Structure 1
Amino acid sequence: MSIREARASDAEHLTRFINMAADDLPLHFWKRSVGPEGDPWAYGRERAARETGNFSFRNAWLAEAEGEVAACLLGYPADPEPAPIDPDTPPIFVPLLQLEALAPGSWYLNVLATYEAHRGKGLGSALLAKAEAIARDAGHATISLIAEDTHQDALRLYRSKGFREIARRPLVKGDWQVDASEWILFVKPL
């Protein structure tokens, strides 16, 4: 296994990983963004291939195993002084923004995902260690992440690695089809 920085050419993998990590919420958003005639996956790839923005290849690292991309880490510094939530923010995103605001100045781990064929091989643990090293090297005192209450394997991993639950918020589903009912904020001191 090796971990490398993502490249713009990895946009296809990045869109799949971010969508996987959030149970199709990104795809739901991309569909709304492009409308019925647009290609939501192309929109996601375009966003992932950008040089700037939180969801950019510049903020991602990929684990490769057996000669192929197997897992992803995407993260960035959280705002040290979160702004009030814009009243025009779609309600589905409000609980996430509320939770993010509870960990100001942390290094925010937005995506940690592994393709099914590569699960159970330690890639998640290796990428968590990489995230912690990146956060420490950047001078952050804490690392944070938000997970859904139904991602039991991920929740066990985070707890076993010293992440502590800080707060929960109910999901706002609207027409997003998902089994989860709560978002959970985890923080770990570095």
Structure 2
Amino acid sequence: MAVETDAHALADLVNFAGEGLPLHVWTGLAQDGEDPWAVGRARQAKKVREGQVVVIDFGNGAVAGLTGYGIGSEPEEIGDDFPALFRTLQELENKALDSWYVNVLACYPENRGQGLGSKLLDVADEIARDAGYSKMSVIVADENVGARRLYERKGYSELDKAPCVKDGWETETENWVLLVKSLS
């Protein structure tokens, strides 16, 4: 499991995985003069305290991380005030009820190709089974071919996709893709 001192690396990893979307969000959350990265590190430290993060650390700090959570049996309500940037993501998540959701899976670029993502997905499967879930879910950007290949190798397949609403976020992402797999 991660420790609070991993928050700095986790902010980097989350931003890698989110292709800049997290930093865009943290910038919007930052108060007058506050560093958006400080917002991101604080958010990651909170997730660590809540036990939602697993990292791989070879002794010099986190080099890869996994964040996830269980999705319940009832869809989350999406009201008129729900941020446009996240509406489509929540709509897709609502199609993966009763699953353990891989929210973030990331590795520093220099540590890619070592099987760390695959190892973290195996840990995610264990966490999900221990929590009583029989399926997994994840949402990926359509142009993130490498991530999609990894998930498909691990048994995930496309359930649905929806357009990416950019709402000021500069990205090449056109669609979000919901992938799921059975744990049985």
TM-score of the superposition, structure 2-length normalised? 0.94
SS where residue 15 of structure 2 aligns?
helix
Paired position in structure 2 for 1:53? none
RMSD, aligned CA: 1.3
**Sequence identity (%):** 41
How far apart are residue 68 of structure 1 and its match? 4.1
Partner-residue secondary structure (3-state), 2:34: coil
The residue correspondences of 1:51-90 to structure 2 (distance < 5 A) are 56-57=47-48, 58-65=51-58, 67-90=60-83
Segments of structure 1 that go 5 or more residues without pairing to the other structure are 51-55
Partner of 2:27: 31
Amino acid at match of 2:14: I
Counterpart among 149, 162, 175 of residue 156 in structure 1: 149
Q: 1:183 aligns with which of 152, 176, 183?
A: 176
TM-score normalised by L of structure 1: 0.91
1:44 pairs with 2:46: no
- 3-state secondary structure, aligned to 1:49: helix
1:124 aligns with 2:120: no
Residues paired across the two proteins, number: 181
How far off its partner does 1:34 sit?
A: 1.4
Give yes or no for contact 2:137–2:179 (8 Å, CA) kept in 1. yes
Listed as ranges, the gaps of 5+ residues in structure 2 are: none
C-alpha contact 2:76 2:90 (8 A) present in aligned 1? no
SS at structure 1 position matched to 2:90: helix
Task: Name the CA distance, whole Å, in 2 between partners of 1:99 and 1:31.
Answer: 25
Partner of 1:92: 85
- Determine helix, strand or coil for the equivalent of 1:167: strand
* Equivalent residue letter for 1:138: A
Q: Which residue of 2 aligns with 1:134?
A: 127
Structure 1 Cα separation of the partners of residues 29 and 76 of structure 2: 24
Write out the 4+ residue segments of structure 1 that deviate beyond 4 Å after TM superposition. Answer: none
